[in-house]
Structure 1
Amino acid sequence: MDNTALTNYLEQKKFPIVTKEYKKYLLYEGIQDHHVYILKNGVIKTSVISRDGREFNLDYINDLEVVSLLKDEYSQFIDAPFNIRVESEKAELYQIDRVEFWKDINQNFELQIYVKNYYRERLLKSMKRTQQMLMNGKFGAVCTQIYDLHDKFGIEFQDGILIDFVVTNEEIAHFCGINAASSVSRIMHQLKSCGAIKMHDRKIFIKNIELIKDNIIF
């Protein structure tokens, strides 16, 4: 998504920046807050907690992006829609009063276009992810997650693609709705055995991206 309008807006306004360290939470699901947060640099993870206490991961974010949903433009305080946790050594985020942000959006046509595209992409991504999780089964769900990670963190080498970010089997399980990390371990072993991936310094190295894609219903 084109972030030019958002970048220009942030450069003009000089908003305060919040810094959070590794594994620290910016927001907890259901806790009221009156700010909009935009990731400046670092990696964060969004997740929700099910009624039975299980965590379900939604996404990793590592680009300039609004990371707390905007909701309506009139409420000063809103309930955080999900947990936001830092996954890199540290992360820096712009902190903006949400009512002020909405006023600025309403006065800036380019920002309005950005927000429309933001919601559209979020909706399409959510629908696609739900479809993939329902249709692919556990094996396909893990392959889908590996493919998503390659999209966000992949570095191409002559003999494959390194996912330059440490992701545990437990985290992959939480992304895929799989109860036990041991199930992901078995699937990862199968992918290693068939030559699709290998591990390098605790990071996933994709040796054959086509073998990963063959197990995904796009």
Structure 2
Amino acid sequence: MEKTWYLKRINIFQGMSEAEMKQLDGITHMKHYDKKSLIYLPGDVSDQVYLLKEGRVKISKISEDGREITLVILEPGEIFGESSIVSNDQTRSSVAEALENAYLCIISRRDFEEFIHKKPELALSITKLMGFRRRQIETMLEDLVFRGVHERIALLLLRLADRHGKVVGDKKLIDISLTHYDYANLIGSTRETTTACLNDFKREGLIEFQKRKVVILNERGLKERAKYED
């Protein structure tokens, strides 16, 4: 099945010619991953780049004491697995897991390197993307050091709403199913503490739960809890 129509939706590939898109289509193959399937682990050989077609993928790190820290949740149209290749690392340093049933377009390391060698502007776009993600991680680490758990949870909900939110009347649904354990991993806390904070926000009328999804009822109040600055 031709994948050109999908590849055109990926930001870093926009602006390429039809011939270049067909070349890219020719070096990718599609693979399905079931929900909760592991795509790669730390120490795995870094020999592929992934383009997310459908579903969501979680990228996380394992700390020295064995705790999982979620770095980002990726949406369709995003690329991942490219950083270790661009930085010339031979093995993975993070975990990639399918949060939902996912379809990925996969490119081998060799084909990817040859392709970006011919497209220096693509290499620049990937470098900028890596820089943006690095700044996101730095911000998250600063939050861990300087913010309390209630602030971190409030900030996380606001960021998830920006990235995955849907407006429903005067409310905003975070349209992604996460457990309290997932939320804890996203803010570097325990499940018990995270659950207590979420329940506090519910009692305060800031949020409500719809199964494993959070609905923001009072965005202004949540921003006050987060000490959020526009």
User: Scaled by the length of structure 1, what TM-score is found?
Assistant: 0.89
Is 1:13 equivalent to 2:24 in the alignment? yes
Quickly say closer, same or farther: Cα 1:62–1:146, change in 2 above 3 A. same
Deviation at residue 50 of structure 1 after TM alignment:
1.6
Classify 1:102/1:208 alpha carbon distance in 2 versus 1 (closer, same or farther; 3 Å).
Answer: same
Matched, 1:70 2:83: yes
Q: Is 2:222 the partner of 1:215? A: no
**Aligned equivalent of 2:128:** 117
The one-letter code sitting in structure 2 at the alignment partner of 1:118 is L
- Please tell me the residue identity of whatever aligns with 2:78: E
Pick aligned residue for 2:213 from 197, 203, 215: 203
SS of residue in 2 equivalent to 1:79: coil
Structure 1 residues 176-201: Cα deviation after superposition (integer angstroms, max 9, x where no partner): 1113x121111111101111101123
Q: Deviations over 1:93-116 (max 9, x none)?
A: 111111221221121133123212
Matches within 5 A, 1:47-86: 47-72=60-85, 78-86=90-98
Matched to 1:146, the amino acid is L
Aligned to 1:42: 55
Among 173, 176, 188, the alignment partner of 1:165 is: 176
8 Å CA contact retained: 1:45, 1:57: yes
Tell me the CA shift for residue 72 of structure 1. 4.9
Residues 139 and 187, structure 1, Cα contact 8 Å, conserved in 2: yes
1:70-122: CA deviations, max 9, x gaps? 335595x721121111011x111111111221221121133123212212211
The answer to whether the Cα contact below 8 Å between 2:70 and 2:186 also exists between their aligned partners in 1 is: yes
Q: 1:184 aligns with which of 194, 215, 228?
A: 194
| Gap runs ≥5 in structure 2 | 1-8
Flag the 1:4–1:51 CA change in 2: closer, same or farther, 3 A.
closer
- Provide the secondary structure at the position in 2 that maps to 1:192: helix
Q: Which residue identity lines up with residue 65 of structure 1 in the other structure?
A: E
Identity %: 21
Between the aligned partners of 2:94 and 2:115, the Cα distance in structure 1 is 25
Deviation per CA, 1:29-66: give whole Å up to 9, x if none: 12223111121221010111122222111110013222
User: Equivalents in 2 of 1:147, 1:104: separation in Å?
Assistant: 37
Inter-CA distance 192–74: structure 2 relative to 1 (3 Å threshold)? closer
Distance, in Å, in 1 between the alignment partners of 2:110 and 2:23 is: 18
